[in-house]
Structure 1
Amino acid sequence: MPEVNQPICSVSHITHDCYNSSKLTCDNQHNSSSDSHLHSHLHSHSNSHSHGHHHISGLENVNLKLKISTAITILFVVAQVITGFYTNSIALISDGVHNFTDALALIIALLSIWLQKRPVSLSKTYGYNRAGILAAFINSSSLMVIVAWLCYESVQRIFNPQPIETKGMFWIALIGLIVNIGIGFAIHKESKHDITIRSAYIHMLGDAIGTLGIILGSIIIYYTGYNVVDPIISLGISILILWTSWSILRETVHLLLEGTPKGISVENVSREIEIVAGVRAVHHIHIWAIASQVTALSCHIEVDDMNLSHCQTLLLNINSLLKEKFEITHTTLQFETSATLTNNILSTKQTCQ
Structure 2
Amino acid sequence: MNTVDTIKQNRSFNNFDEANNISKRNTLYATILTFLTMIVEIVCGYYYNSMALLADGWHMSTHALALGLAFIAYVLSSKYANDFRFNFGTYKIEVLAGYTSAILLVLVALFMAFHSVERILSPVNIAYKEAIWIAIIGLVVNIICAWLLKDNHNHVDSHEHHHLEDINLKVAYIHVLTDALTSILAIIALVAGMFWGINWLDPFMGIVASILISIWAVSIIKQSGTILLDANMKDPVVQEVIDVINSLNQKVRIEDLHIFRVGKGKYGCIVSLSSEEFIDIGYIKKELSIHEELVYISVEIVNTDV
Both proteins in one fold, TM over 0.5: yes
Matched, 1:82 2:43: yes
Q: Aligned residue pairs: how many?
A: 295
Matched, 1:328 2:294: yes
1:330: Cα distance to partner?
A: 2.1
| Number of the residue aligned with 1:319 | 289
Contact 1:184/1:204 (8 A) holds in 2: yes
Matches within 5 A, 1:244-259: 244-259=216-231
- Across the aligned residues of Structure 1 and Structure 2, the Cα RMSD in angstroms comes to 2.6
Identity of aligned residues (%): 23
Matches within 5 A, 1:10-29: none
> Closer, same or farther in 2 for the Cα pair 1:266/1:303, shift >3 Å?
same
| Number of the residue aligned with 1:338 | 304
| Number of the residue aligned with 1:235 | 207
CA separation in 1, counterparts of 2:224 and 2:108?
19
1:158: Cα distance to partner?
A: 0.7
CA separation in 1, counterparts of 2:54 and 2:123?
15
Aligned partner of 1:142: which letter? L
Q: Secondary structure of the equivalent of 1:154?
A: helix
1:306: Cα distance to partner?
A: 4.9
| Number of the residue aligned with 1:92 | 53
Aligned partner of 2:145: which letter? I
Contact 1:180/1:207 (8 A) holds in 2: yes
CA separation in 2, counterparts of 1:262 and 1:97?
38
| Number of the residue aligned with 1:109 | 70
| Number of the residue aligned with 2:158 | none
**Greater shift after overlay, 121-130 or 132-141?**
121-130
Matched, 1:161 2:123: yes
Pick from 29, 44, 49 the counterpart of residue 68 of structure 1. Answer: 29
> Closer, same or farther in 2 for the Cα pair 1:279/1:72, shift >3 Å?
farther
Q: Secondary structure of the equivalent of 1:138?
A: helix
| Number of the residue aligned with 1:124 | 86
**Greater shift after overlay, 113-122 or 63-72?**
113-122
| Number of the residue aligned with 2:271 | 299
Matched, 1:275 2:237: no
Pick from 212, 220, 228 the counterpart of residue 192 of structure 2. Answer: 220
Q: Secondary structure of the equivalent of 1:99?
A: helix
1:268: Cα distance to partner?
A: 4.8
Q: Between Structure 1 and Structure 2, whose CA radius of gyration is higher?
A: 1
CA deviation map 1:99-145 (0-9, x unaligned): 12222222111111111121455543334331111111211112322
Q: Secondary structure of the equivalent of 1:190?
A: coil
> Closer, same or farther in 2 for the Cα pair 1:166/1:319, shift >3 Å?
same
1:317: Cα distance to partner?
A: 2.1
> Structure 1 stretches of 5 or more lacking a match?
1-32, 343-353
Aligned partner of 1:230: which letter? D
Q: Secondary structure of the equivalent of 2:126?
A: coil
1:302: Cα distance to partner?
A: 4.0
| Number of the residue aligned with 2:162 | none
TM-score normalised by L of structure 2: 0.86
Q: Secondary structure of the equivalent of 2:301?
A: strand
| Number of the residue aligned with 2:180 | 208
| Number of the residue aligned with 1:289 | 261
